[in-house]
Amino acid sequence: MLKQLSIFAENKRGTMTKLTGILAREGINILGSVTNDSAEYGIVRMIVTEPEKAYEALKEDGWICRLTDVIGVEITDEVGQLNKLLQAIEFSCISVDYIYLSFDRETARPVIIFHTEDVQELESSLSFQGYQVR
């Protein structure tokens, strides 16, 4: 299981630069991210090397953020592998709220990040089906 950092950020020029500047200053690497925005605010979701340290640094700087449990599943970079993984999740009858892509820098393989209300159940089901779950 991984910890995802979710940051509520104002949708204006320079916001991402400020956010990434704090992480850079703290020596924290961004391993994967996705941004969902609206007219005024957005949610930046990230997998980072030191989630608790990132959380504390951002909170100290006044950002609204939280840590959430998510699952990472490494797959091979081949046609149909994501579909195969999604079929395995469908087989488990667990609803997924959202997914996004990251990469394992050591293996150079894609890591699919999943958020669900049933994190432990999904982790157990995918492990049982032979997937490498993080």
The domains of the chain, with CATH numbers, are: 2-66 (3.30.2130.10), 70-128 (3.30.70.260)
**How confident is the model at residue 83, as a pLDDT?**
96
Q: Are 82 and 75 in contact (CB under 8 A)?
A: yes
User: How much is the pLDDT for 27?
Assistant: 98
Q: Please list, in sequence order, all residues whose beta carbon lies within 8 angstroms of the beta carbon of residue 1, skipping any fewer than 6 positions away.
A: 69, 70, 71, 119, 120, 123, 133, 134
* Residues 68, 89: Cα–Cα separation, whole Å: 20
- At residue 41, the pLDDT reads 87
Is 113:4 a contact under the CB 8 Å cutoff? yes
Output the pLDDT for position 105.
Answer: 85
Q: What gap in Å lies between CA 26 and CA 125, rounded to an integer?
A: 36
Mean pLDDT by 10 residues, the chain (134 residues): 95 94 97 85 95 98 97 95 94 92 90 94 94 91
Q: Look up tokens 């979701």; give the residue.
A: 45
Quote the pLDDT of residue 60: 97
Q: How far apart are CA 91 and CA 84, in angstroms?
A: 11
